[in-house]
């Protein structure tokens, strides 16, 4: 499987990180699945597996602690910019995040950052609306018990 260039772009803080070194587990026109280690050493997480739904604008990550045990699901709301001429993905973080804890607790995060990004002109009205709609879909899936999607529970990618 050919390995693409994968960049993670954030608006707050303003940074672009090359995550092409993550292990590529699966790739097609609708999904990228990668296994990764934490970029910066952390006491609470060691790494995880991320499922980027390229046409849906969400990235669902399964986080593990330093003992390799599952600790929670983390959903980034993203835009995807793909350049086929150089096989490069830019996963653009639209700031809103949703965390699902093992006990079923749903935590919506960083709405204040999205507001700051709108006020500062870092994201467009269209991006903000897309982020809010995607967050709503994810939260509804969590409340309905249909989260995570089946592909995220597939043992081939554990």
pLDDT at 116: 96
pLDDT at 141: 95
Residue count of the chain: 158
The tens-digit pLDDT sequence of the chain (158 residues) is 678 999 999 999 999 999 999 999 999 999 999 999 988 878 889 999 999 999 999 999 999 999 999 999 999 999 999 999 999 999 999 999 999 999 999 999 999 999 999 999 999 999 999 999 999 999 999 999 999 999 999 888 87
Helices (H), the chain: 111-119, 125-144, 150-153
pLDDT at 1: 65
Contacts of 119 (CB under 8 A, 6+ apart): none
Q: Can you tell me whether residue 144 is helix, strand or coil?
A: helix
Q: What are residue 141's phi and psi, to 5 degrees? A: -60, -40
Buried b (16+ CB within 10 A) or exposed e, 48-86: bbbbbbbebbbbbbbbbbeeeeebbbbbbbbbbeeeeee
Question: Domains of the chain (ranges plus CATH)?
Answer: 5-157 (2.40.380.10)
Q: Are 108 and 95 in contact (CB under 8 A)?
A: no
Total-model pTM = 0.94
pLDDT at 157: 81
pLDDT at 40: 81
111-119 and 125-144 helices, crossing angle to 10°: 170
């Amino acid at each position: 499987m050919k390995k693409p260039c994968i960049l993670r772009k954030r608006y707050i803080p303003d940074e672009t990180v090359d995550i092409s070194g993550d292990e590529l587990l699966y790739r097609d026109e609708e999904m990228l699945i990668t296994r990764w280690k934490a970029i910066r050493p952390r006491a609470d997480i060691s790494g995880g597996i991320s499922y980027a739904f390229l046409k849906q604008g969400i990235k669902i990550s399964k986080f593990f602690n330093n003992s390799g045990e599952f600790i929670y699901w983390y959903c980034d709301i993203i835009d995807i910019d793909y350049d086929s001429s150089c096989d490069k993905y830019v996963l653009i973080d639209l700031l809103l995040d949703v965390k699902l804890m093992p006990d079923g607790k749903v935590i919506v995060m960083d709405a204040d950052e999205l507001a700051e990004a709108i006020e500062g002109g870092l994201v467009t009205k269209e991006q903000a609306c897309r982020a809010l709609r995607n967050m709503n879909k994810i939260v509804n899936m969590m409340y309905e018990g249909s989260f995570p999607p089946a592909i995220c529970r597939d043992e081939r990618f554990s």
